[in-house]
Every structure is written in structure tokens, then in C-alpha cells.
Copies of this chain bind each other. A is one copy, B any other.
């Protein structure tokens, strides 16, 4: 199909137009409009999706997508699990550099750290903003780490896309189409967190906003859903992870820190996540959790994290996966 015909098809059918390699892909909702007969001749192939998953579904593409993050690959078929760690929030250069050094010491390739924090209260610490992004970029330059940082809403999405190696769309922003559509136009990897009140169907559909925009570098992150149980902060949904592994073609990573909400449970949960055979882990670690400006209760200190990290390779070996 020529690009001109693709555009025409897209326009008349309220459809999405994107390019994968040399092929134009058009996705349309059959319930809304039909492609006109005179254009149908330009369509090479059609898919009927019976479960309301589309570009992200295992039915559309049976092999798992692969995303390049810094010098490593996340997802794909090589049976690797990537560690991403760091503090909840970037608080100061000293603090984030301490975290960066820990990553370097352990051979971890990606550093997380929030700069635009989606806090519940307007009176809490809201993050360092652009200043934080610059500190993260400094860590990338100095330590060669891939930078993972969160976008809170569409007002600063351009800055985050600009500075980050991986754009993290937080749980509270999962439905934010201003963010999702901007991520769809970007070519940087997007780490999409499941909203804590969001169904798996909605979660995969949020990824579809990015995929259908033309950005194939989407990673799903389960981080706990909200249930009636209040002794822990959230409830990590590993059954949902089994569903995502079976039904989608997207890499899946897990964030047990936010799910648990308390450091005491994080090591056991992280090992459990590792044994699920997932593509990555996102762990909160802080030089001094007691004085952390956000999520103080759930962050591991450096020694706790070293101990945990040391135990993960063995669990990986037991199921044939390598920690990267």
C-alpha cells in the first residue's frame, strides 16, 4: 500500500495509521465504520481480534516484543530479567549519586528516580521537577546508566521524553491520553504502569494508544492493585501477570515495592516475581529510607538491596533466566 492510500484509508475510516518497518498497518473499529470498497483493494491483510486486544495481543504477534534500554535488551526471547532500581524520588545530587554508585557497583544498567511526583496531597513534597531531570541526566553521563523517570501529566511530557531513556507512565497517569499519545509519537521506550484501579483489559488498551501511535517500545509494569485489604499498601496481581504473559506480546516487569508498601516484604516478593519468569523488576532503594521524602516505608536500604540482588541470580537459574 502506498503511504497516500494509507493516509486516505486512515482519514475516511477514523482509523489509526502507523508504520512498522516497511508495512503500513491500519487498525479500525469494525463496530464504527466499514472501509469503503474502493479502498479495500489496497488492504493486504486484516485481523479479527476476538478478545479486544489488538496490536499488543499474542494473536496478532506470537513472539514477545523486545525493547532496547541503554546497553541491554528487555523482553524478547533470550530469557533475561532486567533490574531497574533506585529511589522513589530524586531528592538531591548527593542522594541520587549514591544510588547511581550502587547500581554501578552491582552491574545494574538502569537507574530509576522520580522528579514529577503524583502525590495525593498538594502539601507534600512534589518532586524536584526539571532540576531532578538534569540530575538524572548527569548520572547517565557519569555512570553510563539508562535513566528511568516518571511523567505525571501532559504539561511536562516533552521534558521527560527529552531527558529520559525510558519514559515511565505512572499508575495515576495510565489513562492520560495527552501522555499516551505523546508517547506514541516518541520513539523512546515507555514503561507503562497499571493503574491501581484498572482492569487488565484497560491496561492493555492503554498500551494500544502508544502502539497504535507508532511506538512499539512498550513495557507493561504491574505494581499492585487496590483491593479491600489494607494491611499492605496494594495487592500485587501475579494472576494478572500470568494473563499478560499468555495473551499479549508485550514485555512485563514487576514493581513489588509499591505493591507491598513495607520494606519487610519486598525481598520475598521480589524473589517470587523473579520465579514467575518475567522480563524485568523495578525496585525502590534509598541510601537512607528513614529520611526519604516519599515512600519512606517501602524502600530498601543499600545493604538490604545488595542481599536481595545477590539472591536473585540463583532463582533465575532455577527457571532458566539470566538477570541483566
Contact = CB atoms under 8 A, between A and B. Distances in A.
Contacts of A235: 225, 227, 235, 237, 239-240
A259 to B, nearest CB: 6
B197 A196 contact: yes
B212 A123 contact: yes
Nearest to A265: B242
B242 A260 contact: yes
A314 interface: yes
A97 B315 CA distance: 35
A6 to B, nearest CB: 16
A267 to B, nearest CB: 9
A238 B238 contact: yes
Contacts of A154: 153-155, 176, 178
B121 A52 contact: yes
Contact of A125 (B32, B201, B241): B32
A197 B198 contact: yes
Interface in A279-324: 293, 311, 314-315, 317-319
Interface residues of A, number: 85
B199 A231 contact: yes
Contacts of A236: 238-239
A205 B272 contact: no
Given A231-B199, A315-B275, A175 B239 contact: no
A240 B231 contact: yes
Interface in A239-290: 239-243, 245-246, 259-262, 264-265, 268-269, 271-277
Given A272-B276, A315-B275, A318-B317, A202 B120 contact: yes
A140 interface: no
Interface string A24-36: 0001110010000
A224 interface: yes
Contact of A274 (B118, B176, B275): B275
Given A120-B205, A175-B118, A264 B276 contact: no
A173 interface: yes
4 A-B pairs closest in CB distance:
A197-B197, A242-B265, A153-B178, A275-B275
9 contacts: A29-B121, A122-B208, A122-B212, A122-B213, A153-B154, A154-B154, A311-B318, A311-B319, A317-B318
Given A173-B175, A232-B243, A242-B269, 6 more contacts: A32-B125, A154-B178, A225-B235, A229-B240, A235-B237, A239-B265
